[in-house]
Amino acid sequence: MSTGGAVYDRGYRPYDGILGGRRASATALYRTSLRRAIGLRRPWRQKVMPFVLLAIAVVPAVVNVGVGYLTRDTPARDFSFITYREYVGVSSALLLFVALVAPDLMCPDRRQRVLSLIFARPLTGVDYVLAKVGAIFTCVFAFSFLPQVVLYVGQMLVSDGALDYLRHNTAVLWQVPVAVALLALFYAVLGVAVASLSGRRIVAGATLLGITLVSSSVSAIIVESSRGHGPDVPGHPAALLNILALPLYVRDLVFLGHLGDRSPLSGVTGGGALAVACYLAVVGAGIAVLLVRYRSAEL
Amino acid sequence: MSIVQARGLTKRYPGVTALDNVDLDLPAGRVGLVGANGAGKTTLFRLLLGLSRPDAGTIDVFGIPVADDPIAVRSRIGYMPEHDCLPLDQTAADVVATFGELGGLPVRAARQRASEVLDLVGLDEARFRPVGGFSTGMRQRTKLAQAIVADPKLVLLDEPTAGLDPSGREEMLALVARLATFGIAVVLATHLLDDVARVCDHVVMLDAGRLVTDAPTTSLLKQTGAVTVDVGPAAVPALTVALTARGLLVATADLGGSLEVTVSTDADLDAIRDVVADLGLPLHRLTNRLTSLDDVFVHRPPAPLPPAAPAEAS
C-alpha cells in the first residue's frame, strides 16, 4: 500500500464539446444579466431588493382576494378593490426597480471597461442591447404578471363557481399578458437607454426618476391649468407629456378598446392614436439611442 | 502555415496613422508584437478582433477574412486587454465562468473550466473572492484565465506583465510560455523586448504604425563575434590587462563582473581560458554574446517624417 502522496499538475484540457455561436453567446449574456438583476450569485443584500419589490407588487392582489373571501357571503361580494386593468402599471415599485436595476446592469460594463471583454466574444452591439433590455423586460413582466396570476387564481377560488368565473373572464387571459408586455417593454427600453448614457449608477437612476417626475409634473400642471373640473370635462393633449402614463393609455386601449373615462387624455380627438404614436416614439427613440451607443462601442 | 495574414493593412485616426500599409504573416506558436507606446499594437488587436475596420487592406485569421465574418473569428480568439476590464464586484470564478459562457460554453462546462483555468493560473484558492480585492498580479491572472477559458485557438495578450513585480512577471511569462504547449497560439504585445526574447519564437516589430521586422526570433538574435566572460567584479581589471597583453580586444568592461571580448578563432577562446586559469580566477560564465532585440529596435530604419503642412497662401 502506498503511503506517499503525489502532486499532479493537471495542466490544461482542451474543450472537446461544441462551442455555441452568436446565439449562445447572446443567450448567455441575457442569462447573466437576468441573474444579476434578481441578485443571484450576489451578496444577500442584492437579493433583498427585487423580492421586496415583488412582495409589494403582490400586496394589492392579496388584499383584493382577501376582501373577496371575507365578503363572499355578503351583498358586498362583487366589490373589487382593484381591477385587472388598473393593476397593470399601478405600482411605483416597478419604476423603482427599473431605476435601481437598469443602471446596475449597464453602468459597470462601461465604467469598469468590461465592454472590451464582452465585445471580444462572438457578440454584436445589437445582441448586447437585446440581452440587457430582455433581462429588464423579463423582470418587469414577471413582477407585473405574477401578481395578476395571484389575483386571477384567488378571485376564481373565492368566487361561487370557478368555471363560471373563468368563462366570464376569458378576455383578461390575453389582455393582461399583452398589456403587461407592453408596459415591461416600455420600462425596459426607457430604463436601459437612460442607463446607457452614464457610467455612474446613481446618476443614471436619478436621471430616470427625474425624467419621469418632471414629465409627470409638467404634464399635470398644464392639463390642470388648461381645463376645468368635473367628470365631463375633456382631457388635454399635454397629458401625452407624462412619459409614465403612455403605457397606461396603451393599456386602456388593450382592455377597453378606448381610453379610460377618467384618463387625462379622454375626450381629446384622436387621443388613443396619439398615445400609441407617443408610446412608439419613446420606445423607438430608446432603441435608437441604444443601437447607436453600442454600435459605436463595438467598433 | 500562417494563422494571421495581413496585406496592406492601414488604419488612420484623426491626426495619426496607427498602422501604415502593414503586411504580416504570423505563424502558430508564440509571436511577440513589440513596439513603443503608440506603435500600433492595440490597434492591430482591435483589427484582428473585428472591433475596428481598416481604412485599407485586409486581415485574415485562420483563413477567415475578419471583415466578412468577425463573429467566427472572435469565437476562435481569446483576448486579454492591457487595461483594467474586470467586473470588480464578482468573484473570480463567476467572472471567468461568465466569459466562458459568453465564449459559447454551456453553463456547466463553463463553471468546470473556470475552476480548471483558475487552478492553472494559480488562483484556485482565491477563486471565490471578489476581483475588487485582488492585487494587480491576481487581476492579470484572472484576465488571462478569462481569455483562455473557452479554449481559443489564438490568444491575444496586451502587455500581460504590465504593473507586475519581478516575481509576478516571471510567473506570468512562464504561464504565457506554457500556452503554446496547450495548442494555443499566442500573440504577446509588449514594449518589453526582454519578455519577447525570452518567451516568443517569432517577432513582429512595429514603429509608428510601420512594420520594422517580421521574423523568427532566432534569426534576429545572431552571434556578434564576441563572448561574454564573467569572472566577478574584483577580477575585471586584472583580466582586462592580461587579455590585452595577449593581443585580444576587450570590447566592453562593465562593473557587473563581466567582459566582452572579441574572438575570431577557437584559439582566442583557448587563450581566454588559459589567462583565466593562469590568474586563478573563478570563471562563472563564458558565452557567445548575441544581438538583442534592443539592438534590432535601436538600429531600426528611421520613420519617415510626416508630410509638411501646406504653406498658407499669402
Q: Is residue A282 scored above 60 in pLDDT? A: yes
CB contact under 8 A, B74 and A122: yes
The alpha-carbon gap from A112 to the nearest alpha carbon of chain B, in Å, equals 6
B121 has a chain A CB within 8 A of its CB: no
CB contact under 8 A, B104 and A14: no
Please give the pLDDT value at position A283: 97
Sequence letter at residue A7: V
User: Is pLDDT larger for residue B260 or for residue B93?
Assistant: B93
Please give the pLDDT value at position A139: 94
Please give the pLDDT value at position A286: 97
Mean pLDDT of A247-274: 89
Chain B residue numbers touching A121 (CB-CB < 8 A)? 74-75, 99, 102-103
Chain A residue numbers touching B132 (CB-CB < 8 A)? none
CB contact under 8 A, A112 and B117: no
Chain B residue numbers touching A29 (CB-CB < 8 A)? 102
Among B67, B77, B53, B71, smallest CA distance to A26 is for: B71
Among A190-204, B27-41, B45-59, B248-262, whose mean pLDDT is lowest? B248-262
Nearest CB partner across the interface for A28, out of B51, B79, B101: B101
Kindly list the residues of chain A whose beta carbon comes within 8 Å of any beta carbon in chain B.
10-15, 17, 19-22, 24-25, 28-29, 31-32, 41-42, 108-109, 112-114, 116-124, 298-299
The alpha-carbon gap from A12 to the nearest alpha carbon of chain B, in Å, equals 6
Please give the pLDDT value at position B235: 82
SS3 per residue for chain B: CEEEEEEEEEEEECCEEEEEEEEEEEECCEEEEECCCCCCHHHHHHHHCCCCCCCEEEEEECCEECCCCHHHHHCCEEEECCCCCCCCCCEHHHHHHHHHHHCCCCHHHHHHHHHHHHHHCCCHHHCCCEHHHCCHHHHHHHHHHHHHCCCCCEEEEECCCCCCCHHHHHHHHHHHHHHHHHCCEEEEEECCHHHHHHHCCEEEEEECCEEEEEEEHHHHCCEEEEEEEECCHHHHHHHHHHHHHCCCEEEEECCCCEEEEECCCHHHHHHHHHHHHHHCCCCCEEEEEECCHHHHHHCCCCCCCCCCCCCCCC
pLDDT in tens, A116-168: 999 999 999 999 999 999 999 999 999 999 989 998 998 898 888 889 989 98
Nearest CB partner across the interface for B116, out of A13, A114, A120: A13
Q: Is residue B145 scored above 70 in pLDDT? A: yes
Nearest CB partner across the interface for B102, out of A112, A113, A123: A123
Chain B residue numbers touching A28 (CB-CB < 8 A)? 98, 101-102, 104, 107
Please give the pLDDT value at position A82: 83
Q: How many other CB atoms sit within 10 Å of the CB of residue A130?
A: 17
pLDDT in tens, B115-129: 999 999 999 889 999
Please give the pLDDT value at position B312: 44
Chain B residue numbers touching A42 (CB-CB < 8 A)? 89
Q: Is residue A10 scored above 70 in pLDDT? A: no
Rounded Cα–Cα distance for residues B26 and B253 (Å): 39
Q: Is residue B310 scored above 60 in pLDDT? A: no
pLDDT in tens, A30-50: 999 999 999 887 878 878 888
The rounded percent of chain A whose pLDDT value lies above 70 is 92
Please give the pLDDT value at position B307: 54
Mean pLDDT of B165-188: 90
Please report which confidence band the pLDDT of residue A232 belongs to, taking 50, 70 and 90 as the band edges.
Answer: low
Q: What pTM value is reported for the model?
A: 0.84
Could you report the predicted ipTM of this complex, rounded to two decimals? 0.85
User: Is pLDDT larger for residue A172 or for residue A58?
Assistant: A172
Rounded Cα–Cα distance for residues A110 and A200 (Å): 9
Mean pLDDT of B278-291: 81
Q: How many other CB atoms sit within 10 Å of the CB of residue B23?
A: 12
Q: Is residue A233 scored above 80 in pLDDT? A: no
Chain B residue numbers touching A13 (CB-CB < 8 A)? 116
Q: State how beta strands B185-190 and B30-34 pair.
A: parallel
Please give the pLDDT value at position A228: 63
CB contact under 8 A, A31 and B99: no
Mean pLDDT of B174-193: 90
Interface of B with A in 80-109 (CB under 8 A): 81, 83-90, 94, 98-99, 101-107, 109
Please give the pLDDT value at position A230: 61
B183 has a chain A CB within 8 A of its CB: yes
> Between A and B, how many CB-CB pairs are < 8 A?
110
Mean pLDDT of B17-39: 90
Among B35-44, B109-118, B273-282, B290-299, whose mean pLDDT is lowest? B290-299
Please give the pLDDT value at position B97: 96
User: Is pLDDT larger for residue B292 or for residue B193?
Assistant: B193
CB contact under 8 A, A124 and B120: no
Please give the pLDDT value at position A219: 92
B64 has a chain A CB within 8 A of its CB: no
Nearest CB partner across the interface for B102, out of A10, A13, A28: A28
CA of A106: which chain B residue's CA is closest? B87
Please report which confidence band the pLDDT of residue B250 belongs to, taking 50, 70 and 90 as the band edges.
Answer: confident
Nearest CB partner across the interface for A299, out of B52, B102, B105: B52
Average pLDDT along chain B: 87
Q: Is residue A179 scored above 70 in pLDDT? A: yes
Among A35-44, B157-166, B250-259, B280-289, whose mean pLDDT is lowest? B250-259
Q: State how beta strands B223-230 and B285-290 pair.
A: antiparallel
Q: Is residue B313 scored above 60 in pLDDT? A: no
Mean pLDDT of A72-91: 78
User: Is pLDDT larger for residue B64 or for residue B208?
Assistant: B64
Please report which confidence band the pLDDT of residue B299 belongs to, taking 50, 70 and 90 as the band edges.
Answer: low
Please report which confidence band the pLDDT of residue B225 belongs to, taking 50, 70 and 90 as the band edges.
Answer: confident
Cell of A250: 396603451
Q: State how beta strands B202-207 and B30-34 pair.
A: parallel
